[in-house]
A and B are shown apart, each in its own frame.
Chain A
Amino acid sequence: MPTYRPGPVSLIIAAFVALFLLMPLLAVIPVSLTPSRMLAMPSGELSLRHYRALIEDPRWLQSILLSIRIGVVSSAFSTVLALCFSLGVWMFQPRFTAALVGFVLLPMVVPPVVSAITLYFLLTSISGFSAFFGYDTWLGVAMAHSVMTVPFATVLMLVSLSQLDRRIDLAARGLGATVWERATRVIMPNIKFGIVTAALLSFVLSWEEIGVTLFITSVNAITLPRLMWMGLRDNIDPAIAALSVILIIITVLVLAVRSFVARQRGA
């Protein structure tokens, strides 16, 4: 328990920072209720027309479904790859581990715009001989998202493995368990929480990915962030405010549930 508490000056400055952090999230609420067709503050009456537009305009629903599909596929793919890789690192501690992990983490540390142009190069090259799998296809986007999310999944797996007691694995090994049995019956049940978190984080990162997606899609694979981008750049569409409010509410709810669960586990 820290005995050294922040004083009044610290608290006042921190309150301003907190206000700054929440301000743009609160600002979208009044905008989403405007009766106007353009971005404006509601003057007088409120309207839910922009929420209705989200349901009635098929483009929004289509891109939500596409984003979910891409998120599920890319998250499953990166979770499996990251799990195998991390198990290999933890169980065998091969030479050059640091260099190999460093290589895997590259897409996380390289500026996203450079990853974007790299994946653009990759997908346009693939497009040369495949129409389903390349530039502006959902499979291509899913693969690109896997490249971008796999470092985060790997970090989470390695962190949860590092908290695992090695003696459990040594005991299994001493009792004659094979590599497969050690991995699936001993190690994986103990890092379940880490695996689920990695899958969830990969999904969320893919769901909101825009920097790379912008480079590798044009008219067919329009994910939700991509559609929001189009509505933000040209003529600002207040439907984005309605969508933002919904996304913010979901985030707050998920975080509240998560911190509740974490408290229960801790208690």
Chain B
Amino acid sequence: MRSYLSDRMGAALLMAPLLLFLVLAYAWPFLGVVKWSFTLPTPGLGQYEALLTDDLVQSVFIRTLRIAAVVTVVSVAAAYAITVVWVRGTPAQRLIAEFCILVPFWISVLTRAFGWVALLSNRGLINTWLQAIGFISEPLALVRNEFGVIVGMTHFLIPFAVFPLASAMRSLDDRVLLAARGLGSSRMRTFWTVFVPMTRSGIIGAAMIVFVFSLGFFVTPAILGGGRSVMIAELIYLRIFQSPDWGLGAAISVVLVLFVGALMALLFRYVRPKQLI
């Protein structure tokens, strides 16, 4: 005979270590950061006021939103194309698609950003080849600008967009597609009027994940942007380590968390968490 009380004790004992660890090592210091945003350098709402008035901060926010929007559209579209093959292709096509999705996914963000530097920089593969065949005389500026940042981020985020899309495409009933074809709908028309609308939850999930990830992206923009196309995350880093202005860095972090939290809440009104894996 096991009592209700001992069950509760058992649960508490097993769950306590992790909860305690995260309260002490994550929740408490986060409150500390919130405190910084209100007290450094002087107590008050000065940092938040600066966020609304500072031209540099404003332009970084706008650039971040713009890059995140472009990256979201491009990577969800690209992910959709490869996921169709991964889920619905012949066994050989599926194997190749899986390889192309999973290998980049498991390779570190630094290696991938470096790969793009090797391709896009002035003495990189693309410029060297284009000059060798005489197509251009001066190297094209492909990196250390917004273009490089968008390319690198899209590359990083495509695999993350693939998973929710694959989950939506796998749960789709084949008979509906066959019915559309049987009733005389062309391939194109079946794809656009049946297949795509039926995977809408996957598209929304993928777009949200990619957008949220892009907002807080640090490594890729810092390397491929070369300090010229600074995004929010890099701005926080610069405020903490270069200009020491901890209060402003903290205030930007708090705003970023609130913004991402609001987006997630919006996401979960439309998509159940299980559909995202």
Question: How many residues of chain B are within 8 Å of chain A by beta carbon?
Answer: 92
- When distances are taken between beta carbons in the complex, the residues of chain B under 8 Å from A18 are 82, 96-97, 100
A179 contacts chain B at the CB level, 8 A cutoff: yes
B134 contacts chain A at the CB level, 8 A cutoff: no
Instruction: Determine whether the beta carbon of A17 is less than 8 Å from that of B158.
Output: yes
- Would A147 and B110 be within 8 Å (CB), given that A111-B257, A121-B33 are in contact? no
Of B28, B29, B155, the contact of A24 (CB 8 Å cutoff): B155
- Output the least CB separation between B220 and chain A (Å): 10
Instruction: Determine whether the beta carbon of A107 is less than 8 Å from that of B26.
Output: yes
B56 contacts chain A at the CB level, 8 A cutoff: no
Of B112, B121, B178, B236, the contact of A117 (CB 8 Å cutoff): B236
- Output the least CB separation between B151 and chain A (Å): 9
Chain B, range 113-133, C-beta contacts under 8 Å to A: 113-119, 121, 123-125, 128
B43 contacts chain A at the CB level, 8 A cutoff: no
- Output the least CB separation between A87 and chain B (Å): 5
Instruction: Determine whether the beta carbon of A110 is less than 8 Å from that of B114.
Output: no
Instruction: Determine whether the beta carbon of A244 is less than 8 Å from that of B115.
Output: yes
Of A106, A207, A236, the contact of B26 (CB 8 Å cutoff): A106
- When distances are taken between beta carbons in the complex, the residues of chain A under 8 Å from B191 are 7, 10
A251 CA to B103 CA, complexed, in Å: 7
Instruction: Determine whether the beta carbon of B111 is less than 8 Å from that of A247.
Output: yes
Instruction: Determine whether the beta carbon of A100 is less than 8 Å from that of B19.
Output: yes
Binary CB contact string for chain A from 1 to 29 against chain B (1 if under 8 A, 0 otherwise): 01111110111011011101111110110
- When distances are taken between beta carbons in the complex, the residues of chain A under 8 Å from B124 are 27, 39, 41
Binary CB contact string for chain B from 10 to 23 against chain A (1 if under 8 A, 0 otherwise): 11111101110110
Instruction: Determine whether the beta carbon of A85 is less than 8 Å from that of B17.
Output: yes
Binary CB contact string for chain A from 70 to 109 against chain B (1 if under 8 A, 0 otherwise): 0000000000011011011101101000001001101101
Number of A-B residue pairs, CB cutoff 8 Å, is 273
The residue in chain B whose Cβ has the minimal distance to the Cβ of A7 is B187
- Output the least CB separation between B261 and chain A (Å): 9
A113 CA to B33 CA, complexed, in Å: 12
B237 contacts chain A at the CB level, 8 A cutoff: yes
The residue in chain B whose Cβ has the minimal distance to the Cβ of A82 is B18
- When distances are taken between beta carbons in the complex, the residues of chain A under 8 Å from B99 are 255
Of A21, A84, A120, A254, the contact of B15 (CB 8 Å cutoff): A84
- When distances are taken between beta carbons in the complex, the residues of chain B under 8 Å from A211 are 218-219, 233
A241 CA to B115 CA, complexed, in Å: 8
B215 contacts chain A at the CB level, 8 A cutoff: yes
Of B158, B223, B249, the contact of A21 (CB 8 Å cutoff): B158
A196 contacts chain B at the CB level, 8 A cutoff: no
- When distances are taken between beta carbons in the complex, the residues of chain B under 8 Å from A144 are 25
Instruction: Determine whether the beta carbon of A113 is less than 8 Å from that of B236.
Output: yes
The residue in chain B whose Cβ has the minimal distance to the Cβ of A38 is B123
A23 CA to B233 CA, complexed, in Å: 27
Instruction: Determine whether the beta carbon of B15 is less than 8 Å from that of A113.
Output: no
- Output the least CB separation between B170 and chain A (Å): 9
A125 CA to B88 CA, complexed, in Å: 53
- Output the least CB separation between A233 and chain B (Å): 7
Instruction: Determine whether the beta carbon of A4 is less than 8 Å from that of B88.
Output: yes
- Would A114 and B90 be within 8 Å (CB), given that A27-B125, A121-B36, A229-B110 are in contact? no
- Output the least CB separation between A124 and chain B (Å): 9
A83 CA to B102 CA, complexed, in Å: 26
Instruction: Determine whether the beta carbon of B89 is less than 8 Å from that of A24.
Output: no
- When distances are taken between beta carbons in the complex, the residues of chain A under 8 Å from B188 are 9
Chain A, range 32-52, C-beta contacts under 8 Å to B: 38-41
Name B's A-contacting residues (CB within 8 A).
2, 7-8, 10-15, 17-19, 21-22, 25-30, 32-33, 36, 78-79, 81-82, 84-85, 87-90, 93, 96-104, 106-119, 121, 123-125, 128, 155, 158-159, 174, 177-178, 181, 187-188, 191, 212, 215-216, 218-219, 222-223, 232-233, 236-237, 240-241, 249-250, 253, 256-257, 260, 264
| Sample of 19 further A-B pairs with CB below 8 A, known A22-B104, A119-B25 | A6-B93, A10-B81, A17-B81, A18-B96, A28-B115, A40-B128, A87-B14, A110-B260, A111-B212, A113-B232, A113-B253, A117-B240, A120-B240, A215-B241, A229-B219, A236-B121, A240-B114, A247-B108, A251-B106
